[in-house]
Chains A and B, each alone.
Chain A
Amino acid sequence: MLQNLLSPEFFNAILRATTPILFAALASSVASKSGITNMALEGIMLFSALFGVIFSAMTGSFPLGLLLTMVAGGVIGLMLAFFVLNLKTDEILAAIAINLMATGGTVLLMLAVSGDRGSSTSISNVSAPKIVIPLIDQIPFLGKILSGQNLMTYLSILAVVVMHLFLYKTPLGLKIRAVGENKNAAESVGISARKIQYIALILSGVLASMGGFFLSGGYMNMFTKDMSAGKGYIALAASAMGGDTPVGGFLVSLLFGAAQALANMMQLTDIPHELIQMVPYLTTLVGLGIYSYMGVRKRQKLAGK
């Protein structure tokens, strides 16, 4: 067991398990920075996992399939924005509606497209390719971790850098942060808070859809019912624990990815798999507990106690 934990294969698996959580955590951070909690990440990922299969099969191409999925994710983000910003729906209730719609809607859609209720094995989708990086794959130990990952995994890490630059170095990023922190201040200098929040939620939808695409076109090579399995919610926790920053969210996502990889590996042991499947969620719960406790301590310190 210990030997397995120290093997490059395990670390490789961590990065793979981190990828969907990371995309969704980035999606959560951009929405949170604009002042809206995007709890619909779960539903957007689930929809996107199915869309990814359908679109890539339809076009017969991975890049086109991914692109269409991202557009679809953006549209769901736009829908959420419309509910919350125009119709003044509670953001949590609107998200729950989208998530429930995803649970039932994906099964219905899959049945319509493939005639199957459980998984999309009959559809021949095109997954994202694995990339072997020359030279790096020659490095002992590290090479096996850093090279040979799925393209989406590399994209997710690239997205951390891009989102960091976007939020902290561009005018639009500055506006998103200003709107999320003090809407009145932003509006007093002529920024349209609604427009900014629309942009943030659409972007959030696009990022979450990339995570969803990876689930069915990389992590696995088909869509199965409810395959997002709470990763959207875990990502919400990851983003919050990372202070809603891209880099912070990345580090916490790695932790949750490790828990997922650990659970996957422990399935080879004698421990009942029901217990093992709890590991990622238990890690999230414990993580959130520690995070909240630290927050309380910090406030107490500030109050001088």
Chain B
Amino acid sequence: MVLQMNHIMKIYSNGVVANEDVSIELKKGEIHALLGENGAGKSTLMKVLFGIESPDEGQIVLNGQETAIKSPQDAINKGIGMVHQHFMLVPSLTVAENIILGVEPKKYGFFIHMEKAISEAEEIAKKYNFDIDVRAKVEEIPVGIKQKVEILKALYRGADILILDEPTAVLTPQETDELFVQLEKLRDSGHTIIFISHKLDEIKKICNRATIMRSGKSMGTYEVKDISTEEMSRLMVGRDVILTFDKKPSNPKEVLMRVRNLSVRNNQGVQKIEDLSFDLRGGEILGIAGVEGNGQSELIDSITGLNKSYKGSIYIKDTDIEKSSIKEIRDLKLGHIPEDRMTSGCAGNLNILENLFSNQYTNQEYSGKMLLKTKRIQERSEELIVEYLVKCKSFRQNVGMLSGGNIQKVIVAREFSTEPDIIIANQPTRGVDVGAAEFIRRRLLEFRDKGCAIILVSADLNEVFSLSDRLAVMYKGKFSGMFTDVSAVTEEELGQYMLGLKHQEVQEGVIYE
């Protein structure tokens, strides 16, 4: 047993319980998968191990001795290396310079011994069979090689335990295969590897054991050869509590939004949405489930006008929005609760009133020819604060000072107060306390009953299950499944669609016209 993390507890200052009594054991010379959805607490656990976060409770036992890891430097000194998902490389420096950065070999006491650095870098690359030109500049090498540089960097610093954070997320299938060969070689030479992922096929392929995490807790450690992918997916995405709403059956009306043959590439040229078509009707909630990064954000950005470089067409109430500004799209009575409330949801340094009216300052009711109708706006703000149960001292308080749940209520109040016909709710209850989440969900249902068309993107399976009238699963930029009767779907089944293990060839109820 090379490493044990026992009963780790980590609660962030905003009250989010990221790790709750999590334990994990690593055997020397194994590739150990850490499996879980985004937000399941994998990253936090690894940050604790790498000294970026300190645990509130629990102990770390390294090579039989209890130890405290105070900083990344401390972790490196203790033989733990981490390859971050976002590479920690300096682009204009060479591969060799990046490898030796911070531990440079010297000559004449003052200069870098560059020949020695290069030969050492080449030596270590050769030792582990990495085919790399160490004289090349990092900015000129492909992503797959950059990752190898990161691994070499850790090895050069004497890492015995390597943490790889979703290493295949940025790689092509060929690069992934190559990486796996190298990881197996590292394992055979006695290194221990923690492989963070949510791709089950990869874990099956390369890992010896897997620890599965869900909403901050460990669901146990399993021998990979003894557990089926179905079982893994059930442990990974299963529901803890069943939410119940006394929800009336939906009564869908006319189609309010049509998406046709939508394709989106991100700015690295990666295809994020591929030929996606669907309809959205008034009076229904279309839930979109899926592991993050499968095109959900790109879809929402395209619909709401934040992303303009897409192929295909999007019609809102028969208006093609390709050339419409965000304001024009909003004027079609579309409300948007964005995914990241702090960056695109609100202006943290402005007060509640200013945030509440940031989409209404041209409205005749609140604005005269030159000046805002301050008194009317203040009255309305107070009404909205009461109606949406925003806990605050007054509308003059800065939004950034409120708790996450109350910020979200301000955003919801702003979006709903214009009486929209279409609501795009992207992770509307993420990081929001239970009470506020419940409140937001009820509001969404009220709007549905009034005939509003709603798209709900959520990583919370509970939420999509209990609110959606139709449920689509996104996988690699497409719908891998579409369910018109949500109650007939089991969570195991949904998990398999989310992870790409299942795919509907023919989909019912996607398009209505």
Contact = CB atoms under 8 A, between A and B. Distances in A.
Interface of A: 165, 169-171, 174-175, 177-178, 181-182, 184-191
Contact of B102 (A169, A181, A182, A189): A189
Question: Most chain-A CB neighbours within 10 Å: which of B88, B97, B114?
Answer: B88
A interface secondary structure, majority: helix
20 contacts: A169-B111, A169-B112, A169-B114, A174-B93, A174-B101, A174-B104, A175-B101, A177-B93, A182-B88, A182-B90, A182-B91, A184-B88, A185-B88, A185-B89, A185-B101, A186-B90, A186-B102, A187-B72, A190-B73, A191-B101
Contacts of A174: 93, 97, 101, 104, 112
A187 B73 CA distance: 9
Which 5 residue pairs are nearest across A and B when measured between Cβ atoms? A190-B73, A189-B102, A185-B88, A171-B104, A188-B88
Nearest to B76: A190
Contact of A189 (B87, B91, B101, B106): B101
Contacts of B106: 171
A109 B499 CA distance: 73
Contacts of B103: 189
B101 A181 contact: no
Given A170-B111, A181-B92, 6 more contacts: A169-B114, A181-B93, A184-B88, A187-B72, A188-B88, A189-B88
B281 interface: no
Contact of B90 (A170, A171, A181): A181
A189 B153 CA distance: 9
B84 interface: yes
Interface of B: 71-73, 76, 82, 84, 87-93, 97-98, 101-104, 106, 110-112, 114, 153, 157
Contacts of B111: 165, 169-170
Nearest to A184: B88
B92 A170 contact: no
A165 B114 CA distance: 13
B230 to A, nearest CB: 38
Given A171-B106, A188-B72, A189-B101, A182 B112 contact: no
A186 B98 CA distance: 9
Contacts of A165: 111
Contacts of A169: 111-112, 114
Question: Most chain-B CB neighbours within 10 Å: which of A169, A178, A184, A190?
Answer: A190
B102 A191 contact: yes
A181 B87 CA distance: 13
Nearest to B77: A190
A189 B76 contact: yes
Contacts of B90: 177-178, 181-182, 185-186
A177 B102 contact: no
A178 B71 CA distance: 20
Contacts of B89: 182, 185
A190 B50 CA distance: 12
Contacts of B104: 171, 174
B153 A181 contact: no
B112 A171 contact: yes
A189 B90 CA distance: 12
A225 to B, nearest CB: 41
A146 to B, nearest CB: 29
Contacts of A186: 90, 101-102
A161 to B, nearest CB: 14
A84 B278 CA distance: 52
B455 to A, nearest CB: 33
A186 B91 CA distance: 12
A185 B157 CA distance: 15
A184 B84 CA distance: 11
A11 B103 CA distance: 45
B112 A178 contact: no
A99 B101 CA distance: 36
Nearest to B72: A188
B212 to A, nearest CB: 28
B280 to A, nearest CB: 35
Question: Most chain-B CB neighbours within 10 Å: which of A171, A182, A188, A190?
Answer: A188
Contacts of A171: 104, 106, 112
A191 B157 CA distance: 14
A165 B111 CA distance: 8
A190 B98 CA distance: 13
Contacts of B73: 190
A175 B112 CA distance: 11
Nearest to B75: A190
Given A169-B111, A169-B112, A170-B110, A175 B102 contact: yes
A107 to B, nearest CB: 39
A247 B303 CA distance: 50
A78 B76 CA distance: 31
A182 B90 CA distance: 6
B112 to A, nearest CB: 6
B446 to A, nearest CB: 44
B201 to A, nearest CB: 30
A190 B72 contact: yes
Contacts of B72: 187-188, 190
B162 to A, nearest CB: 14
A48 B91 CA distance: 37
A189 to B, nearest CB: 4
A178 B93 contact: yes
A187 B89 CA distance: 11
B103 to A, nearest CB: 8
A262 to B, nearest CB: 35
Nearest to A191: B102
A143 B120 CA distance: 48
A14 B111 CA distance: 33
A181 B91 contact: yes
A185 B84 CA distance: 10
A187 B75 CA distance: 13
Nearest to B91: A181
Contacts of B88: 182, 184-185, 188-189
